[in-house]
């Protein structure tokens, strides 16, 4: 029997919801249903952070906090979680992050401020050190047009100097513990919203329903609702499914559940593939990384999804679950623009990444803005170099074609060749023949072409230990 309501802790009160539209976003719920207008709409596409709130989840008797963009988060994803909004912070007296913001003049027009305060709150409650890198990282999804961020950064540096008020975390933990985590189906007119906690139940219901959408972070899917104004009929939320949320590191393989948030993956990858994990720090914004998943990236198959070239370069496989399970190499998975080999009523269960510590992995992302921007060109290189010779090499580009694409001729040319200027020069000529990129608002085709060539040059320069990166 599926539950027909969700329960969550809104700030410090347990609430249950069942009758609202299955497509409703957290932002619209807060503003229109609860009259909590402190959370603002800036863009309704997850790019500006004015709507930032924090989601708390029980992990080993403690609450772990994550910032989210409420404008692109569906309300029914919140079963069993705490939703913290700006109204909670100023409740009795100012929270340390608020005091710091006031005293460092972190607000001007004030419209982005609640979102920024919530990002800071998340940092504060998770006790993240306020290093320069962390400050930029935690602010990456919050746009401010007035202050230039300088006083906001200052207030983050100062926030730990302020004493915290008494917290009611114990109560909240006990409230959260009492919420049932059974599979859920919300029905509203003809539309349904499913939440499953294990794979078995999910597969059963997913096979039964047509017109279905798989949802994890919704960083892409939600725009169908908030921008194109479509109604999504059946939504299957995978973010709470324990069978899809895991990272297991085995001897020579990493297994990642398809719905595992990127921000959970980053620290685990750090020791194995540091360049991959560093790349993820420029993947979307903090809020996006907290929601988005590899499964989503692969499933939506966008040619500019940054994880895809890297996963392909690393010879990753994906486990596809339908009525049966099958394992597919990512090399052959992408067919044409946003078309893949995933069949109807199938879903991606996990991603398997081989561990090869002898190889060099490079992840080059070029975009207009360093943080929270979509690549104009992305290049991943996975190479085994012995005696300055390529024993194996794989080069995969994003943003250069309608799918993430392997530079086959280029890598074939370089195989068993010396890693030197002469061969890289030739490789640059070859790669120019392999791609016919397009012009758009992010970059011209000429620039894309030139960059794909120059990133090969960067690869060589890094090998020669030259300084190559500005940020």
Partner 1 sequence: MDKIFTKNIEHESAIKHVTGKAIYTDDITEPKNLLHAVIGYSNCSKGIIKKINYDEVYKSEGVVDIITEKDIEGINDVGPIFKGDKIFTSKYIEYYGQPIFAVVAKTNNLAKKAALKVKIDIKKTKPIVSVEEALKKKSFVLKPKYLKRGNIKDGFKKSKNILKGKLYSGGQDHFYLEGQISMTIPQEDNNFLVYSSTQHPSETQQIIGKVLNQNFNSIHVMVRRIGGGFGGKETQSFLFAAITSIAAKKLSRPVKLRVDRDDDMIMTGKRHDFLFNYEVGFNNEGEIQALKLMMASRCGISADLSGAINDRAIYHIDNAYFIPNIEINSYRCKTNTVSNTAFRGFGGPQGMFCIENIIENISQKLNKDSSEIRKINFYKEKNRNTTHYGMKINDNVIEDIFNKLIKKSNFKKRKLKIKNFNKNNKILKKGIAITPVKFGISFTTTHLNQGGALVHIYTDGSIHLNHGGIEMGQGLMTKLALVASNEFGLNYESINVSSTDTEKVPNTSASAASATTDINGAAIVNAINKIKSGLDQFIYDYFKTNSKIRYENNFVYFDKRKISFKELINTAYLNRIPLSSSGFYKTDKINVDNKTLQGRPFLYFAYGAAVTEVIIDKLTGENKILQVDIIHDVGNSINKRIDIGQIEGGYIQGLGWLTTEEVSWKSDGILTTHSPSTYKIPTAGETPFKFNVEIYDRGFNKEKVINRSKAVGEPPFMLAISSFIAIKDAVYNANNNKDSNNLIAPATAENILKSLN
Restricting to residues 327-386, which ones interact with partner 1 according to CB under 8 A?
366-374, 376
The whole-angstrom separation of Cα 454 and Cα 90 is 51
Question: Nearest-CA neighbor of 100 among 130, 80, 62?
Answer: 130
The whole-angstrom separation of Cα 330 and Cα 328 is 6
Which part of the chain contacts partner 1 (CB under 8 A), choosing from 79-87, 158-166, 189-197, 401-409? 79-87
Instruction: Indicate whether 42 belongs to the interface with partner 1 (CB under 8 A).
Output: yes
Map residues 309-328 to x or -, x wherever contact with partner 1 holds by CB under 8 A. --------------------
Map residues 47-76 to x or -, x wherever contact with partner 1 holds by CB under 8 A. xx-x--------------------------
> Could you say which of 16, 110, 248, 335 contacts partner 1 (CB under 8 A)?
110
Interface of this chain with partner 1, residues 116 to 145, rule: CB under 8 A: 117, 132, 135-136, 139-140, 142-145
Instruction: Indicate whether 86 belongs to the interface with partner 1 (CB under 8 A).
Output: yes
The whole-angstrom separation of Cα 133 and Cα 228 is 36
> Could you say which of 148, 267, 274, 354 contacts partner 1 (CB under 8 A)?
148
Whether 39 contacts 86, CB under 8 Å: yes
Could you give the count of Cα atoms lying within 13 Å of 87 in the half-sphere of its Cβ?
Answer: 14
> Could you say which of 70, 77, 85, 382 contacts partner 1 (CB under 8 A)?
85
CA dihedral 420, 422, 428, 433 (to 10 degrees): -130
Interhelix angle for 150-158 vs 96-103, to 10°?
140
Q: How far is CA 117 from CA 26, 101, 165, 318, in A?
A: 18, 8, 16, 39
> Could you say which of 29, 83, 87, 395 contacts partner 1 (CB under 8 A)?
87
Interface of this chain with partner 1, residues 234 to 293, rule: CB under 8 A: none
Instruction: Indicate whether 471 belongs to the interface with partner 1 (CB under 8 A).
Output: yes
The whole-angstrom separation of Cα 361 and Cα 365 is 13
Whether 74 contacts 215, CB under 8 Å: yes
Here the tokens at position 445 are 């085709």
Q: How far is the CB of 278 from partner 1 (least distance, A)?
A: 14
Q: How far is the CB of 418 from partner 1 (least distance, A)?
A: 20
> Could you say which of 227, 339, 343, 408 contacts partner 1 (CB under 8 A)?
227
Q: How far is the CB of 186 from partner 1 (least distance, A)?
A: 19
Q: How far is the CB of 110 from partner 1 (least distance, A)?
A: 3
Instruction: Indicate whether 153 belongs to the interface with partner 1 (CB under 8 A).
Output: yes
Here the tokens at position 158 are 């100062």
Q: How far is the CB of 91 from partner 1 (least distance, A)?
A: 9
Instruction: Indicate whether 457 belongs to the interface with partner 1 (CB under 8 A).
Output: yes
Which part of the chain contacts partner 1 (CB under 8 A), choosing from 185-193, 258-266, 415-423, 439-447? 439-447
Instruction: Indicate whether 451 belongs to the interface with partner 1 (CB under 8 A).
Output: yes
Q: Is 72 exposed, middle or buried (0-12, 13-18, 19+ CB in 10 A)?
A: buried
Which part of the chain contacts partner 1 (CB under 8 A), choosing from 106-114, 339-347, 354-362, 392-400? 106-114
Q: How many helices (H) and strands (E) does the chain have?
A: 17, 20
Interhelix angle for 132-139 vs 113-125, to 10°?
130
């Amino acid at each position: 029997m599926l539950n027909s309501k969700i329960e969550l802790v809104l700030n410090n009160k347990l609430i249950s919801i069942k009758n609202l539209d299955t497509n409703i976003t957290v932002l619209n719920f807060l503003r229109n249903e609860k009259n909590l207008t402190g959370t603002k709409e800036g863009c309704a596409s997850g790019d500006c952070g004015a709507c930032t709130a924090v989601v708390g989840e029980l992990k080993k008797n403690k609450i772990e906090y994550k910032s989210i963009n409420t404008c692109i988060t569906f309300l029914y994803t919140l079963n069993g979680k705490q939703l913290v909004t700006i109204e909670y912070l100023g409740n009795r007296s100012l929270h340390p992050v608020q005091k710091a913001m006031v005293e460092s003049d972190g607000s001007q027009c004030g419209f982005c401020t609640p979102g920024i305060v919530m990002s800071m709150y998340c940092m504060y409650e998770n006790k993240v050190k306020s290093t320069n890198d962390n400050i930029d990282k935690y602010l990456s999804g919050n746009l401010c047009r007035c202050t230039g961020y300088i006083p906001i950064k200052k207030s983050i540096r100062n926030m730990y100097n302020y004493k915290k008020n008494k917290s009611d975390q114990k109560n909240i933990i006990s409230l959260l513990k009492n919420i049932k985590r059974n599979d859920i189906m919300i029905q509203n007119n003809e539309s349904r919203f499913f939440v499953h906690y294990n794979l078995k139940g999910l597969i059963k219901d997913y096979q039964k329903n047509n017109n279905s959408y798989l949802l994890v972070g919704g960083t892409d899917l939600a725009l169908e609702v908030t921008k194109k104004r479509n109604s999504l009929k059946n939504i299957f939320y995978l973010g709470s499914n324990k069978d899809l949320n895991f990272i297991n590191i085995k001897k020579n393989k990493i297994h990642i559940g398809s719905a595992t948030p990127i921000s959970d993956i980053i620290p685990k990858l750090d020791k194995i593939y540091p360049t991959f994990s560093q790349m993820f720090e420029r993947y979307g914004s903090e809020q996006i990384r907290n929601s988005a998943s590899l499964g989503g990236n692969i499933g939506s198959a966008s040619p500019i999804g940054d994880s895809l070239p890297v996963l392909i370069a690393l010879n990753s496989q994906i486990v596809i679950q339908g009525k049966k399970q099958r394992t597919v190499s990512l090399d052959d998975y992408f067919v044409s623009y946003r078309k893949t080999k995933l069949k109807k009523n199938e879903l991606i269960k996990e991603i398997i990444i081989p561990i090869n510590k002898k190889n060099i992995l490079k992840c080059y992302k070029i975009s207009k803005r360093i943080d929270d921007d979509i690549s104009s060109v992305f290049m991943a290189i996975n190479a085994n170099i012995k005696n300055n010779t390529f024993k194996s090499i794989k080069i995969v580009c994003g943003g250069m074609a309608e799918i993430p694409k392997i530079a086959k001729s280029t890598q074939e040319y370089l195989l068993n060749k010396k890693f030197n200027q002469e061969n890289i020069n030739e490789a640059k000529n070859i790669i120019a023949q392999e791609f016919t990129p397009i012009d758009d608002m992010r970059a011209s085709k000429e620039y894309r072409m030139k960059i794909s060539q120059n990133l090969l040059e960067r690869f060589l320069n890094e090998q020669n230990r030259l300084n190559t990166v500005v940020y």
